[in-house]
């Protein structure tokens, strides 16, 4: 750029700053497991109907004329002001590059401290510039944490946002680049990569946020991989004001074959009100030595805090403790952010939340609610014992190839459903022409095909199913308790994905020929079509005969009906057939 052009561009950027010719919009970051908004990312829009309306082009132009750092701080300041104006709830995620953050360490720290007092901050360290990790910069990042300012590593998996940055920065949040959400629909290996990233992030106590969630299918696939913090157009488009997320409230939280919920840990212990005096509470605790932790509730039975014996004694101890706090109420000294879980949460979800609570915020006790109303207390040690027992049972009865539950957990699930009188459907999946394929291509390829079926069932059906199991050989069982319209499409997706992906296990010439020459059960050579996936679904309700044998008989009959038709087929009782091509339904 020549000097004249540079001067002109500099003037444009300066005018934008002086005239505040930008707008700030906010996009929510949604936790699908807990059905709540974590916070909002502040995003900038430049002058309307201008080339610089695109924030990336605006910043690029500013950096070309040495105004990039000034513009970044200006945009961040406007975001904080706008967040206060609209009374934004939750955390504010601010984008700041390392260049801007580290240009003047003292000034940066002072500014962020001031903003943190207005609204909880998460600084998204953008990937456009290489992160710096000298001892001075490390101290700066540490000072941010001392002020409870959290860090997020943005667009992980692209640019400079790499494993090295993750290890050195140790962010509170890891924002997964949108590439992963896009490619997991087409690339089998993407899910494996995401699982490894999630596992690594968990060890570092970092919450993974999936960006660019634009469809319900992407939401379902990503939550199947234990990522529940989501951002993208399907959650909500960026907006200048706060809007409700009603469409997400209607979506189901993932379920599994896990038999227990937080309700099984519930201890009904009376809560206290915030106007109770500290001395009255101390007397209660002296009379009842086992009273170590109490929930604090308002007049509507909603949890507003908690208090434990240690907190109370610390407040009243010391030479002037009693005199200073003789009129202090529980509401003045309670913990205003207790750990709460809903009674219908799976135990694994409760454990996941507790594992992400900072050590000084966890008392070994948590509060159990129902739609936000107080129910009682749960104890972390009891949770750990129950989870350990469940995992041992699962390991004992799991199929060694797919690690999916086997016959014993299946029978327990069915018995529980029969006892509850709850209607359900049993889907029986089986492979057609699998033995000839196994003999022809070898056991290793055979195992890969079995694992492919297991992967697809987890990927597409986990959000809809009460139970997913592998009962031996090439036989899989899935149990649904939801209405058929909620899972029929997902079964079609399984069939279509199997039709597309199973061909990669054959030689190219076999795919072109539409099958293989192999031996049948009598040892005679014959032509067999490519292996196909058949599924029979049997429905049961309280009006039908109830026994495990009868249910098994009904599911087997539905599966046999499906295997009679060519192609990747699902037979839905009574007498409806669905194949892998969406919309093709045969009656």
**Structure tokens, 172:** 């509170």
pLDDT digits (tens, 9 = 90+) for 392-432: 766 777 888 998 988 888 888 888 788 778 889 999 999 99
Beta strands in 394-439 (DSSP E): 424-432
Same domain, 159 and 274: no
Is position 317 within any domain? yes
Same domain, 573 and 505: yes
Could you tell me which of 28, 23, 55, 59 has the C-alpha nearest to residue 41? 28
Is position 357 within any domain? yes
pLDDT digits (tens, 9 = 90+) for 253-269: 444 445 567 887 888 89
The enclosing H or E element of 367 equals: strand 365-370
pLDDT digits (tens, 9 = 90+) for 54-80: 988 999 999 999 999 999 999 999 999
Confidence bin at 3 (pLDDT 50/70/90) = very low
Q: Is the pLDDT of residue 584 over 70?
A: no
Cβ–Cβ < 8 Å for 238, 202: no
Same domain, 308 and 426: no
The enclosing H or E element of 60 equals: helix 55-64
Same domain, 60 and 175: yes
Same domain, 420 and 369: no
Interior/surface letters 65-103, b for 16+ CB within 10 angstroms, e for the rest: bebbbebbbbbbebbbebbeeeebebbbbbbbbbbbbbe
* Residue 331: exposure state from Cβ atoms within 10 A (0-12, 13-18, ≥19): middle
Is position 253 within any domain? no
Is position 269 within any domain? yes
Of 324, 357, 385, the one marking the end of a domain is 385
Say if strands 569-572 and 465-472 run parallel, antiparallel, or are unpaired.
unpaired
| CB atoms near residue 173 (< 10 Å) | 24
Query: What is the Cα 35 distance to its own chain's centre?
Result: 10
Of 203, 224, 247, the one marking the end of a domain is 247
Same domain, 357 and 243: no
Q: Which of 117-121, 463-467, 509-513 has the lowest mean pLDDT?
A: 463-467
Is position 213 within any domain? yes
Query: Which residue is listed with tokens 């005969």?
Result: 545
- Which residues are CB-neighbours of 551 under 8 A, at least 6 positions away? 414, 426, 538, 540
Q: Residue 148 sits in a domain of what CATH number? A: 3.20.20.450
Same domain, 34 and 181: yes
Q: Is the pLDDT of residue 203 over 90?
A: no
Cβ–Cβ < 8 Å for 239, 26: yes
pLDDT the model gives residue 583: 38
Q: Into how many domains does the chain fold?
A: 3
Same domain, 180 and 143: yes
Which of 114 and 216 is assigned the larger pLDDT? 114
320-322-326 Cα angle (round to 5): 125
**Residues above pLDDT 90, as percent of the chain:** 43
Same domain, 166 and 207: yes
Is position 255 within any domain? no
Q: Residue 438 sits in a domain of what CATH number? A: 3.30.70.270
Q: Is the pLDDT of residue 158 over 50?
A: yes
Same domain, 486 and 511: yes
Could you tell me which of 153, 181, 207, 199 has the C-alpha nearest to residue 30? 207
pLDDT the model gives residue 69: 94
| CB atoms near residue 235 (< 10 Å) | 20
Q: Which of 6-20, 274-288, 318-332 has the lowest mean pLDDT?
A: 318-332
pLDDT digits (tens, 9 = 90+) for 327-366: 688 888 898 889 999 887 878 788 878 877 755 445 689 9
pLDDT the model gives residue 42: 97
Question: Residue 275's domain spans which residues?
Answer: 262-385
Same domain, 215 and 279: no
Q: Residue 290 sits in a domain of what CATH number? A: 3.10.580.10
pLDDT the model gives residue 36: 81
Of 224, 247, 270, the one marking the end of a domain is 247
Confidence bin at 169 (pLDDT 50/70/90) = confident
pLDDT digits (tens, 9 = 90+) for 8-55: 788 999 999 999 999 999 999 998 877 789 999 999 999 998 899 998
pLDDT digits (tens, 9 = 90+) for 213-242: 998 878 877 876 778 899 999 999 999 998
- Which residues are CB-neighbours of 584 under 8 A, at least 6 positions away? 578
Is position 297 within any domain? yes
pTM of this prediction?
Answer: 0.56
Q: Is the pLDDT of residue 133 over 70?
A: no
Is position 257 within any domain? no
Same domain, 526 and 445: yes
pLDDT digits (tens, 9 = 90+) for 74-101: 999 999 999 999 999 889 999 998 889 9
């Amino acid at each position: 750029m020549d000097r004249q052009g540079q001067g002109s561009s500099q003037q444009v950027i300066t005018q934008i700053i002086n005239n505040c010719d930008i707008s700030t919009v906010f996009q929510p970051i949604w936790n699908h497991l807990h059905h709540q908004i974590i916070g909002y990312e502040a995003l900038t829009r430049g002058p309307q109907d201008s080339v610089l309306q695109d924030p990336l082009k605006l910043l690029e132009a500013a950096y070309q004329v040495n105004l990039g750092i000034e513009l970044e701080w200006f945009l961040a300041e406007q975001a904080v002001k706008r967040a206060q104006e609209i009374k934004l709830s939750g955390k504010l995620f601010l984008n700041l590059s390392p260049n801007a953050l580290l240009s003047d360490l003292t000034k940066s720290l002072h500014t962020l401290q001031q903003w943190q007092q207005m609204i909880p901050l998460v600084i998204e360290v953008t990937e456009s510039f290489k992160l710096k990790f000298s001892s001075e910069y490390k101290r700066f990042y540490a000072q941010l944490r001392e002020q409870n300012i959290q860090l997020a590593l943005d667009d992980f998996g692209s640019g400079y946002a790499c494993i090295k940055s993750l290890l050195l920065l140790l962010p509170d949040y890891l924002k997964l680049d949108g590439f992963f959400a896009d490619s997991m629909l087409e690339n089998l290996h993407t899910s494996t990569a995401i699982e490894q990233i999630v596992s690594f992030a968990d060890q570092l106590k970092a919450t993974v946020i999936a960006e660019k969630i634009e469809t319900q299918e992407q939401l379902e696939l990503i939550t199947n991989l234990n990522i529940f913090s989501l951002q993208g157009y399907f959650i909500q488009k960026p907006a200048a004001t706060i809007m409700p997320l009603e469409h997400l409230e209607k979506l189901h939280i993932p379920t599994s074959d896990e038999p227990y919920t937080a309700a099984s840990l519930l201890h009904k212990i009376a809560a206290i009100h915030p106007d109770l005096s500290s001395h009255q509470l101390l007397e209660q605790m002296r009379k009842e030595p086992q009273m170590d932790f109490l929930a604090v509730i308002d007049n509507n039975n909603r949890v507003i805090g908690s208090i434990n014996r240690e907190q109370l004694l610390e407040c009243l101890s010391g030479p002037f403790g009693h005199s200073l706090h003789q009129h202090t109420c529980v509401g003045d000294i309670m913990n205003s952010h207790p750990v709460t879980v809903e009674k219908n949460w799976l135990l694994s979800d409760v454990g996941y939340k507790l594992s992400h609570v900072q050590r000084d915020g966890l008392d070994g006790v948590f509060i159990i609610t129902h739609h936000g109303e107080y129910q009682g207390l749960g104890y972390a040690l009891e949770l750990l014992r129950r989870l350990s027992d469940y995992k041992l049972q699962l390991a004992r009865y799991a199929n060694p190839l797919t690690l999916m539950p086997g016959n014993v957990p299946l029978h327990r699930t069915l018995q529980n459903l029969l006892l509850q009188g709850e209607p359900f459907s049993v889907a029986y999946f089986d492979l057609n022409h699998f033995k000839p394929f196994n003999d022809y291509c070898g056991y290793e390829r055979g195992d890969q095909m079995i694992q492919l079926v297991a992967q697809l069932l987890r990927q597409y059906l986990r959000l809809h199913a009460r139970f997913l199991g592998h009962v031996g050989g090439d036989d899989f069982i899935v149990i649904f308790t939801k209405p058929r319209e909620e899972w029929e499409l997902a079964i079609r997706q399984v069939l279509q994905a199997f039709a597309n992906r199973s061909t990669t296990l054959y030689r190219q010439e076999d795919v072109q020929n539409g099958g293989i020459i192999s031996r049948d059960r009598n040892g005679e050579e014959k032509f067999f079509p490519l292996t196909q996936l058949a599924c029979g679904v049997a429905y049961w309700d309280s009006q039908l005969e109830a026994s495990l044998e009868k249910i098994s008989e009904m599911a087997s009959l539905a599966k046999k009906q499906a295997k009679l038709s060519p192609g990747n087929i699902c037979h839905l009782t009574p007498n409806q057939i669905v194949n892998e091509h969406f919309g093709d339904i045969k009656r």
